[in-house]
Each structure stands twice: as C-alpha cells, then as structure tokens.
Amino acid sequence: MARFIAFLVLLVPGIMAIAGIKFMRDTLFSRLIAPFPELWMQFAAGFVLLAAGIWFFAGFLLHRDRKRGKVQQRFNK
C-alpha cells in the first residue's frame, strides 16, 4: 500500500509536467486553449507547471537518496 501511495504522489507532478509541455507546445504552434486569453500566458503557465513538476520530482529523489546515503557530500545537510 505504501508503494501505491508513493506512486500516486509522484503521478500528480508528472501529470503537471506533461500538461506544461503540452501548453508550451501548443503555444509554439499558435493553438490557444480555452482558459488562457493570450498565448504568452499559456506559455508562462506551461513553463510554471513544467518547472513545478520537475522540481517536486527532483526533490523527492534527493530526499530519498539522502535517507539512503547515496548522495555526494555537498548535497548532505
């Protein structure tokens, strides 16, 4: 059960990052999606979603590796 919960915790940021990539791709092809009034807002929202998803996933991996002692000395607290 714990692995399933960890999977769900990582699934949400993954979906956020995928949505961010989609928003930025649609901006490059000049396809405006409904909730955004301008293309630049769509690109900015996509960038924020992508960055937040990657940031959360990387933080999760760093936290896990710190607990197991598998990081370099400069990444330890």
Reported as a single tens digit per residue, the pLDDT across 25-71 is 999 999 999 999 999 999 999 999 999 999 999 999 999 899 999 99
Residues 6+ apart with CB under 8 A from 66: 75, 76, 77
pLDDT computed for residue 6 by the predictor: 85
Q: What is the pTM of this model?
A: 0.85
Are the CB atoms for 24 and 48 separated by under 8 Å?
A: no
pLDDT at 76: 87
